[in-house]
């Protein structure tokens, strides 16, 4: 913090001006004092000479006054200073030429009364001085202000004596008048300067000390307040008692240097100790005054509290060190150049990328424009690479993601950032990243995209995508074959105009796709369609809505499967159901395969999104970073959906590994891994049993129930209670919560796959369907009781191990 900020009223510039004024005042005082001393010495000699003249002339005046003759002029005509003789009424009897010139009067032409020339402010003092003259006979060093005729107001010093007659009675007085106007003005100036100096010193925001022989003689108010000592306490101490030097060698060097250049001034940082034990750092400016022998007469120390600046410097230095360390260890190549393209900073990663066989510190000061030619052979197109660098630097505009290909097959991505200070170009920063792997990932992603586009185009399922206005956006070849049209006949047209559904079917689909995400339904259903030549066919349609980021439906995707043959068999034979189930199983297996295969490109997308965020989070604005995070969340949601599908598809697969499972331990492990709001607690009404079961399946079973329960509690004090009963063939468990409750119409649907309740967008609608399949494997049942706003209790039974069919 600056000195002005510490004082609250003065800026550093003001403090500097005050110091300059103080120094000038001290110089003037010293010069004026010397002039005054010389003047006083000179005037003292003149006064002595005048007194001799007075003594010499006094005898002659006694006789001359009696004669009243003109011969009196010759008696004091040789006196240089103004000389006056007056009677007892202060009327001038005679005066010399100097007096006439100084007073502006001529006694031979007009009556001159000396008391009338005295300034009104000095009338009382003059009367008292005249009385002294009458009593003593001599008046020494009478000083007063008079009003002259030609020179105006003047300060005079008069030494006078009485002149007596033969009887010893005073008949006149004589005196030498000395003009001391300049001396008075100098004295007043010195007094004013001293007052100004005292005001400046006392009101300066800087602490000021006067030091004689290492002892503090005087301290100003700012220094007293700075350390908390009183001025009296400070006068008992030396500057070394209240401060210390961080570098004593530096102090000695500064003292020697000040002697060599004869400046007697230097500045150093001292650590001062307050009375309360705290410490501060003070920038101490020392000025030394020496006598004629060169010995130190006294020192003046001016102390500026720079504690905050010192702390800030330390923090800045530490920050710079951390930043330098960070830059040096970044996995991004960094090259900082000044305006003349000399290297200011480079890190190890930069040297590694370009195989530079020296330490980054060695590169400081190197001319990049010249040295780049040593490495241009590394580029795939050396001349174009050099021209591109020169072009970017010449334009001085930010460049990002500028790719450069190397001869060894690597690809670097670089950013260029010009650096300006107050509009003046200071240099630029290059950042380099090896994006070879990322580029290869992009290529692989394109290959994967083409692969799955080929699968979609050639799979034995019709695929259609439409917007919210029922305009067809995309179809695959299988759908074209099912309808008997080309893609051109379908894309861009209304679905109800080109797809041979009846009107009722379209209205049903429209109702299912209406509204917000939480209100829409994804479902599979059969439709009968009439193809050309009145050929009636049956299709199984699985449709799902598409949403925007706000959860609004923007279209739909439909998968169509021609089940005409299965439908005809169903109408003709009783075993058509078995074939249809086989077909459905094929669909499930297909979903399993597609879900499993989608994991690979999904991971690639996730990796790319992570790289984008890591690489550009400092470059992107808030909206860009938000979009990347949203992309990751959508990928995570997709991953959960795929994982849920995989779990659902594998619940009935594999052999159950039935062992002794402590259900208390299972609940404890679940509590450690699922998210439980702070207002919710999970409790068992009594100690749970140890049962024979597959621990993984039990973990899945209870985790899905408990996860659903804790997130659907809106009460201030949420509670989930676990209880059980044992009968001869089954274990019966119950999980009760005091949450929002489930409407009765959903009591059956929630156990179907992709069915969920509420506005939780992260719900995949798979959890309870997995629960149902696990319970089915243990030959159990699941049901629930619920009241809206009161809570829900799920009941389920698990057949004991001896009764379970080994699978």
Is-contact 37 44, C-beta < 8 A?
A: no
Question: At a CB cut-off of 8 Å and minimum separation 6, what does 537 contact?
Answer: 482, 528, 529, 530, 531, 562, 564
Q: Is the per-residue pLDDT at 463 higher than 70?
A: yes
pLDDT tens-digit readout, 96-107 = 988 888 899 988
Report the SS3 class of residue 143. strand
Q: Which two tokens mark 366? A: 């190197």
Is the alpha carbon torsion for 344, 349, 354, 357 positive or negative? positive
Q: CA 222, CA 234: separation in Å to the nearest integer?
A: 13
Q: CA 72, CA 65: separation in Å to the nearest integer?
A: 8
Residue-level pLDDT at 516: 47
Residue-level pLDDT at 91: 92
Q: Is the per-residue pLDDT at 66 higher than 50?
A: no
Q: Is the per-residue pLDDT at 58 higher than 80?
A: no
Is-contact 490 474, C-beta < 8 A?
A: no
Q: Which two tokens mark 218? A: 């005087």
Q: Is the per-residue pLDDT at 534 higher than 80?
A: no
Residue-level pLDDT at 423: 86
Q: Which two tokens mark 258? A: 């000040």
Q: What are phi and psi of 506, to 5 degrees?
A: -65, -40
Q: CA 4, CA 10: separation in Å to the nearest integer?
A: 4
How would you classify the pairing of strands 718-726 and 680-684? parallel
pLDDT tier at 85, thresholds 50, 70, 90:
very high
Q: CA 701, CA 797: separation in Å to the nearest integer?
A: 12
Q: Give the residue-averaged pLDDT of 76-87.
A: 78
Range with the poorest average pLDDT among 63-77, 159-173, 441-455, 675-689 = 63-77
Q: Is the per-residue pLDDT at 70 higher than 50?
A: no
Q: CA 170, CA 161: separation in Å to the nearest integer?
A: 10
Q: What are phi and psi of 464, to 5 degrees?
A: -140, 140
Angle (CA) 300-301-304 rounded to 5° is: 150
Residue-level pLDDT at 523: 67
pLDDT tier at 724, thresholds 50, 70, 90:
very high
pLDDT tens-digit readout, 198-221 = 666 666 778 888 888 778 888 888
Q: Is the per-residue pLDDT at 563 higher than 60?
A: yes
Residue-level pLDDT at 55: 54
Q: Give the residue-averaged pLDDT of 660-676.
A: 86
Q: In the 8-state DSSP scheme, what is residue 470?
A: -
Residue-level pLDDT at 24: 60
Identify which has the larger pLDDT, 510 or 754.
Answer: 510
Q: CA 531, CA 510: separation in Å to the nearest integer?
A: 22
Within 10 A of 208 (CB to CB), how many other CB atoms are there?
Answer: 21
Residue with tokens 């031979």: 108
Q: What are phi and psi of 75, to 5 degrees?
A: -75, -35
Residue-level pLDDT at 84: 92
Residue-level pLDDT at 625: 75
Identify which has the larger pLDDT, 366 or 45.
Answer: 366
- CA 531 to each of CA 153, 486, 558, 564, 589: distance values in angstroms, whole numbers, following the listed order: 131, 14, 19, 12, 29
Q: CA 333, CA 348: separation in Å to the nearest integer?
A: 7
Q: Is the per-residue pLDDT at 13 higher than 70?
A: no
Residue-level pLDDT at 612: 74
pLDDT tier at 781, thresholds 50, 70, 90:
confident
Residue with tokens 């024979």: 692
Q: Is the per-residue pLDDT at 57 higher than 70?
A: no
Q: Is the per-residue pLDDT at 296 higher than 80?
A: no
How would you classify the pairing of strands 343-346 and 472-475? unpaired
Closest CA to 83 of 119, 111, 107, 62: 107
Q: Give the residue-averaged pLDDT of 759-783.
A: 69
pLDDT tens-digit readout, 391-405 = 999 999 999 988 888
How would you classify the pairing of strands 424-434 and 535-547? unpaired
Q: E strand or H helix at 169, and its extent? A: none
Q: E strand or H helix at 410, and its extent? A: none
Is-contact 439 415, C-beta < 8 A?
A: no
Q: For 786, how many CA atoms within 13 A lie in the half-sphere containing its CB?
A: 23
Q: CA 173, CA 139: separation in Å to the nearest integer?
A: 10
Is-contact 600 448, C-beta < 8 A?
A: yes
Q: In the 8-state DSSP scheme, what is residue 379?
A: B
Is the alpha carbon torsion for 330, 331, 337, 342 positive or negative? positive
- CA 402 to each of CA 267, 353, 411, 434: distance values in angstroms, whole numbers, following the listed order: 51, 16, 10, 12
Q: Is the per-residue pLDDT at 637 higher than 70?
A: no
pLDDT tier at 44, thresholds 50, 70, 90:
low
Q: Give the residue-averaged pLDDT of 785-789.
A: 86
Residue-level pLDDT at 477: 80
Q: E strand or H helix at 409, and its extent? A: none
Is-contact 253 246, C-beta < 8 A?
A: no
Residues in the chain: 807
pLDDT tier at 548, thresholds 50, 70, 90:
confident
Report the SS3 class of residue 685. coil
Is-contact 200 208, C-beta < 8 A?
A: no
Report the SS3 class of residue 337. strand
- CA 398 to each of CA 301, 389, 392, 402, 606: distance values in angstroms, whole numbers, following the listed order: 51, 13, 8, 10, 28
Continuous H helices in 296-371: 307-329, 348-353, 368-371
Q: CA 246, CA 249: separation in Å to the nearest integer?
A: 9
Q: Give the residue-averaged pLDDT of 637-650.
A: 53
Q: E strand or H helix at 223, and its extent? A: helix 221-227
pLDDT tier at 342, thresholds 50, 70, 90:
very high
Q: E strand or H helix at 395, and its extent? A: helix 382-395
Identify which has the larger pLDDT, 534 or 342.
Answer: 342
pLDDT tens-digit readout, 123-137 = 998 888 888 888 888
pTM: 0.32
Closest CA to 645 of 708, 701, 589: 589
Q: Is the per-residue pLDDT at 277 higher than 70?
A: yes
| Residue ranges of E strands in 150-232 | 153-164, 170-179, 207-212, 215-219
Q: Give the residue-averaged pLDDT of 453-457.
A: 68
Q: Is the per-residue pLDDT at 763 higher than 70?
A: no
How would you classify the pairing of strands 138-147 and 424-434? unpaired
Considering all CA atoms of the chain, what is the largest pairwise distance in Å, rounded to the nearest integer? 178
Q: Is the per-residue pLDDT at 706 higher than 50?
A: yes
End-to-end CA distance of the chain: 79
The percent of residues in the chain predicted with pLDDT above 70, rounded, is 71
Residue-level pLDDT at 599: 54
Q: Is the per-residue pLDDT at 790 higher than 70?
A: yes
Range with the poorest average pLDDT among 243-257, 466-480, 590-604 = 590-604
pLDDT tens-digit readout, 796-805 = 899 886 444 4
pLDDT tier at 690, thresholds 50, 70, 90:
very high
Give the mean pLDDT of the chain: 76
Residue-level pLDDT at 689: 92
Q: Give the residue-averaged pLDDT of 756-785.
A: 68
Range with the poorest average pLDDT among 23-37, 51-65, 75-89, 155-169 = 51-65
Within 10 A of 442 (CB to CB), how many other CB atoms are there?
Answer: 13
Q: E strand or H helix at 605, and its extent? A: helix 576-616
The percent of residues in the chain predicted with pLDDT above 90, rounded, is 8
């Amino acid at each position: 913090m600056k000195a002005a900020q510490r004082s609250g009223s003065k800026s550093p510039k003001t403090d500097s001006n005050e110091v300059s004024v103080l120094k000038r005042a001290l110089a003037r005082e010293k010069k004026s004092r010397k002039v005054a001393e010389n003047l006083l010495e000179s005037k003292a000699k003149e006064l002595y000479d005048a007194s001799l003249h007075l003594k010499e002339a006094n005898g002659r005046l006694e006789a001359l006054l009696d004669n009243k003759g003109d011969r009196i002029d010759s008696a004091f005509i040789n006196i240089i200073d103004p000389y006056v003789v007056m009677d007892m009424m202060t009327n001038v009897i005679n005066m010399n030429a100097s007096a006439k010139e100084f007073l502006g009067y001529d006694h031979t032409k007009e009556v001159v009364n000396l008391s009338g020339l005295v300034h009104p402010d000095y009338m009382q003092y003059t009367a008292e001085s005249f009385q002294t003259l009458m009593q003593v006979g001599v008046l020494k060093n009478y000083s007063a202000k008079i009003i002259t005729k030609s020179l105006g107001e003047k300060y005079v010093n008069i030494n006078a004596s009485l002149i007596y007659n033969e009887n010893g009675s005073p008949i006149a007085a004589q005196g030498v008048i000395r003009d001391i106007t300049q001396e008075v003005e100098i004295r007043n100036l010195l007094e004013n300067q001293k007052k100004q100096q005292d005001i400046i010193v006392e009101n300066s925001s800087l602490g000021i000390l006067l030091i004689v022989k290492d002892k503090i003689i005087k301290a100003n108010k700012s220094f007293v307040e700075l350390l908390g000592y009183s001025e009296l306490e400070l006068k008992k101490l030396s500057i070394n008692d209240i401060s210390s030097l961080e570098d004593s060698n530096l102090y000695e060097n500064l003292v020697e240097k000040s002697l060599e250049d004869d400046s007697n001034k230097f500045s150093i940082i001292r650590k001062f100790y307050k009375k309360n034990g705290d410490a501060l750092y003070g920038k101490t400016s020392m000025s030394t005054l020496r006598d004629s022998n060169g010995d130190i007469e006294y020192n003046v120390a001016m102390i500026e509290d720079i504690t905050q600046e010192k702390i800030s410097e330390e923090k800045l230095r530490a920050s710079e060190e951390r930043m330098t360390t960070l830059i040096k260890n970044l996995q991004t190549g960094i090259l900082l150049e000044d305006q003349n393209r000399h290297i200011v900073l480079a890190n190890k990663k930069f040297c590694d990328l370009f195989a530079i066989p020296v330490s980054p510190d060695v590169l400081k000061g190197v001319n990049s424009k010249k040295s780049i030619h040593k490495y241009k052979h590394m580029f795939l197109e050396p001349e174009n690479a050099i021209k591109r660098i020169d072009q970017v630097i010449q334009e001085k505009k930010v460049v990002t993601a500028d790719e450069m290909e190397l001869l060894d097959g690597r690809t670097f991505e670089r950013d260029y950032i010009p650096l300006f200070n107050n509009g003046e170009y200071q240099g630029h920063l290059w950042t380099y990243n090896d994006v070879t792997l990322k580029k290869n990932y992009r290529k692989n992603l394109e290959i994967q995209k083409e692969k799955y586009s080929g699968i979609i185009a050639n799979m034995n399922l019709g695929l259609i995508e439409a917007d919210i206005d029922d305009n067809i956006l995309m179809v695959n070849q299988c759908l074209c074959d099912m309808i008997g049209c080309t893609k051109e006949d379908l894309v861009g047209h209304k679905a109800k105009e080109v797809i041979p559904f009846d009107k009722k079917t379209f209205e049903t689909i429209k109702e299912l796709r209406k509204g917000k995400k939480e209100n829409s339904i994804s479902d599979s259903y059969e439709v009968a369609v009439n193809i050309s030549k009145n050929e009636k066919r049956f299709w199984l349609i699985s449709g799902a809505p598409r949403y925007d980021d706000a959860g609004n439906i923007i279209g739909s995707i439909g998968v169509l499967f021609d089940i005409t043959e299965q439908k005809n068999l169903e109408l003709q034979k009783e075993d058509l159901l078995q074939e249809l189930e086989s077909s459905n199983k094929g669909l499930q297996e297909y979903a399993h395969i597609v879900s499993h295969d989608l994991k690979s490109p999904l991971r690639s997308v996730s990796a790319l999104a992570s790289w984008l965020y890591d690489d550009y989070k400092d470059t992107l604005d808030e909206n860009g970073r938000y979009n990347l995070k949203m992309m990751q969340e959508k990928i995570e949601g997709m991953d959960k959906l795929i994982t849920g599908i995989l779990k659902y598809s594998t619940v009935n697969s594999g052999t159950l590994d039935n062992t002794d499972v402590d259900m208390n331990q299972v609940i404890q492990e679940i509590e450690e891994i699922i998210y439980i709001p702070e207002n919710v607690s999970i409790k068992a009404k009594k100690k749970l049993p140890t049962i024979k079961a597959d621990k993984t399946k039990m973990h899945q079973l209870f985790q899905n129930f408990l996860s659903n329960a804790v997130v659907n509690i809106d009460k201030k004090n949420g509670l989930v209670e676990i209880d059980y009963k044992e009968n001869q063939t089954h274990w019966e468990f119950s999980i009760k919560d005091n949450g929002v409750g489930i409407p009765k119409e959903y009591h059956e649907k929630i156990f179907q796959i992709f069915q969920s309740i509420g506005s939780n967008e992260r719900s995949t609608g798979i959890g309870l369907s997995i629960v149902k399949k696990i319970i089915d494997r243990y030959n159990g049942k699941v049901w629930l009781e619920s009241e809206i706003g009161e809570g829900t209790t799920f009941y389920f039974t698990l057949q004991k191990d001896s009764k379970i069919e080994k699978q």
